[in-house]
Amino acid sequence: MKVKVLSRNPDDYVRETKYDIQRVPRNYDPTLHPFEVCREYTRALNATKLDRVFAKPFLASLDGHRDGVNCMAKHTTALSTLLSGSCDGEVKVWNLTKRECVRTLQAHEGFVRGMVVRYCGTSFFTVGDDKTIKQWKMEAPGYGEEEEPINTILGKTVFTGLDHHRQEGLFATCGQQVDIWDEQRSSPIRSFTWGVDSFSSVHFNPVETELLASCASDRSIVLYDMRESTPLKKVIMAMRSNTLCWNPMEAYYFTASNEDYNLYTYDMRYLEKPVLVHIDHVSAVLDVDYSPTGTEFVSASFDKTIRIFPKDSDRSREVYHTKRMQHVICVKWSADSKYVLSGSDEMNIRLWKANASEKLGVLSPRERQAINYNQKLREKFQHHPQVRRIAKHRHLPKALHHQRKELQIMKEARRRRREMCVSTASQEAFLWCLKKRNTSWLWWNRSSRFASTFFRLFGGVVSSTGGLQEAKRIQDVKNAMSQWIFFCIPNSFI
């Protein structure tokens, strides 16, 4: 009789001494493990779930303002310094490491409309409703010294925006016109106008430093070159743009935040149409700022949320909100690309993580290896339905959810209205063609649903590959003849 037994050689798994490494029999060849893909899928699913479980983006709230935060400015050389201006004319300097205010000054009477740090970081500029431009030292005054500006320039009108040149002692302001100033002079060295009442914001290009752009009250975005005496280009949009931001890595691209709830990314060389339209907000978008890497940007909206968009995606990857946060007026991305700062009109500045589930602090090599492995697994299985559903899910407040539903209903109603107009125009055109009894040819548009139905019924041939021009009257049909095509109808029908 033959008896089968299990045979194990201790030399294969027993250490010779206690200081030897344990032998673990593993073969990482996926062809020898038929369930390896299933195992990786399960790991990717668990990694995606844990990523959402540990997504805690909110870090801190900086309290101290007595009115809504209207503008913010990043320090050009110090990561831990932030400046903020409020609607009561007060400017505060914050230490983000300690999360406390280190300096407060009464800069203006009324709103602080704009502020910017000089490229060297030694001083900063502010503009306000009192028609003044003020330059302040970055260092706090010594004991017994009064808080006085280095320089004060009195303008003729209210200034609504401000930005500083990246390499020279020049800065730009906007109000009723766009002015270029030299720090050593009390009058602008150049002024630009293009028949508009006022401008809301102006920004220098960080790469091509001679270029700048502004948003105007006539729904236009205007581009300028400081070496020219007149503006370069202008694009007029359906609704007014509040502000814009240049991509710090791609010189020709900028993103504008608009009142129609969307953001528009343009290539300044081709302003006929936007490169991409970013949708997700349900109210006016008030501010936008790019990350230092140029791959993402953050937007602030009147709908009490901030969203992070990849620059090449029309949908946001993250949405941040809290119960207390009201309309978000301004937003900034930190210079190390790890944090996002938002200022809202309930007098708070909030600090968020750019990556909601990122673990802060020092990571051990084992932790870093596990994080990288899970990230690769999520990328590998990101298009699987379960993984995609979990990764894309975001909790939204009930009011925001209802607003999204209403917007979807409104878009669907507009789509149906357009289809109804198209159908009416098609019928009018068909009746006009039937009046031509002496010909056996019929002009018809390529994608007309009414024409397609007619030809299926009466044996004709139709090709539906184009777009339908809406014709409200018969005369519109006659004028559009050059863009229509011939179709044959049987003579017996005619």
Give pLDDT tens digits for 115-166.
999 999 999 999 999 999 999 999 988 887 888 999 999 998 999 999 999 9
- In 3D space, the residue among 391, 371, 393 whose CA is nearest the CA of residue 382 turns out to be 391
CB 264 within 8 A of CB 243: no
Give pLDDT tens digits for 316-361.
999 999 999 999 999 999 999 999 999 999 999 999 999 999 998 8
CB 191 within 8 A of CB 171: no
Domain boundaries, the chain: 58-139+147-358
Residue 204's pLDDT band (cuts 50, 70, 90): very high
Q: Residue 201 and residue 242: Cα distance in Å, rounded? A: 7
144: how many CB neighbours lie within 10 A of its CB? 5
Mean pLDDT of the chain: 85
Residue 429's pLDDT band (cuts 50, 70, 90): low
Give pLDDT tens digits for 261-297.
999 999 999 999 999 999 999 999 999 999 999 999 9
Kindly tell me if the per-residue pLDDT of 108 is higher than 70: yes
pTM of this prediction?
Answer: 0.79
Give pLDDT tens digits for 207-242.
999 999 999 999 999 999 998 888 999 999 999 999
Give the CATH fold of the 58-139+147-358 domain. Answer: Methylamine Dehydrogenase; Chain H (2.130.10)
Determine the average pLDDT of the residues in 62-72.
94
pLDDT for the residue 117: 95
- In 3D space, the residue among 47, 43, 57 whose CA is nearest the CA of residue 359 turns out to be 57
- Residue 422: helix, strand or coil by DSSP? helix
- Residue 46: helix, strand or coil by DSSP? helix
